[in-house]
Structure 1
Amino acid sequence: MSLRMELVAITLDCPDPPALAAFYQQVTGFEPHPESDAEFAGLNRGDGLFIGFQRVEDYRAPSWPGQIVPQQLHICFKAMESLDEAEARLLELGAGKPDHQPHGDKARVLTDPAGHPFCIIAR
């Protein structure tokens, strides 16, 4: 019999928790956690999912696709519009786009302002 658990939180290391929380708030529409501060910021989704952002001294961004600094976590989002529209909006918000794009027209790899890679996939 397998163990069943519900995912309730994901936390990302970063140099500036409020800034990274603001980026992901615009990406996801999650609500800011009322106890967020300069050391730890969070976002809440209505069903209880929480994304946290914790300050790490001497933070080093992942090096994707290389592994000099491993990515450690990779988040995927389903684009609710075309991939081109989603990518353009994310770049406006401060995302980066690595040269290496391994998924063709099915998905795009971007990086958040702290360097964490994430994918946007077609609906």
Structure 2
Amino acid sequence: MAPETPVARLRSVVVDCPDPAGLARFYAAVAGGTPEREDDPGWVVLRLPDGPRLAFQRAPELTAPQWPRSDRDAQQFHLDFDGGSTWEEMDASHEKVLALGARVLDAADREKKDFVVYADPAGHPFCLCRIDH
């Protein structure tokens, strides 16, 4: 069976946040790329080297999700990043994201799960995953 032609191509993942420029700089340090301001001061785009764009949209009244609660303010989405293929690489990635302003949400059983959950500076959850290459 031949695959169907897609309706559309993913252009951007848009993240609401109080400080679009600051959060774009955080993710540029995590994933690469250079933040680009658009004509709208409440909108910043980060073109990832090997993926879709991440866009950051000003939402001054944003309430960060409560991890791991799902009864209120569900997380809605999260981003997974390749943190390395060894635990030494994961440990180095862990220290770097903490230095950038992330905080740990869940590191329990990391060896069993192969990931650690963090919050970015605006409170959105993201994961560093151990990926066997």
Q: Is TM (by shorter chain) over 0.5? A: yes
Following superposition, the deviation at residue 46 of structure 1 comes to 4.3
CA distance in 2, matches of 1:97, 1:82: 17
* 1:30/1:44 contact within 8 Å kept: yes
Assess, with a 3 A threshold, how the Cα gap between structure 1 residues 23 and 11 changes in structure 2: closer, same or farther: same
Find the counterpart in structure 2 of residue 111 from structure 1. 119
**CA deviation digits over 1:71-118, x for unaligned, max 9?**
1111100113611111110000000112x3355221110110000001
Residues 8 and 48, structure 1, Cα contact 8 Å, conserved in 2: no
Normalised to the residue count of structure 1, the TM-score between the two structures is 0.86
Displacement of 1:37 in angstroms is 5.4
Structure 1 partner of 2:128 = 120
Query: Percent of aligned pairs with the same residue?
Result: 36
Contact 2:118/2:125 (8 A) holds in 1: yes
The aligned runs of 1:21-40 (5 Å cut-off) are 21-35=24-38, 38-40=41-43
> Which residue of structure 1 lines up, in the alignment, with residue 62 of structure 2?
59
Q: Which structure is larger by alpha-carbon Rg, 1 or 2?
A: 2
In the other structure, the counterpart of 1:72 is: 76
8 Å Cα contact 2:21-2:35 kept in structure 1: no
Match among 73, 91, 98 for residue 98 of structure 2: 91
Q: Which runs of 5+ in 2 are unaligned?
A: none
Indicate if the aligned counterparts of 1:83 and 1:108 stay in contact, CA closer than 8 A: no
Change (3 A) 1:47 1:85: closer
1:11 aligns with 2:28: no
Q: Structure 1, unaligned stretches of length 5 or more?
A: none
| TM-score normalised by structure 2 residue count | 0.80
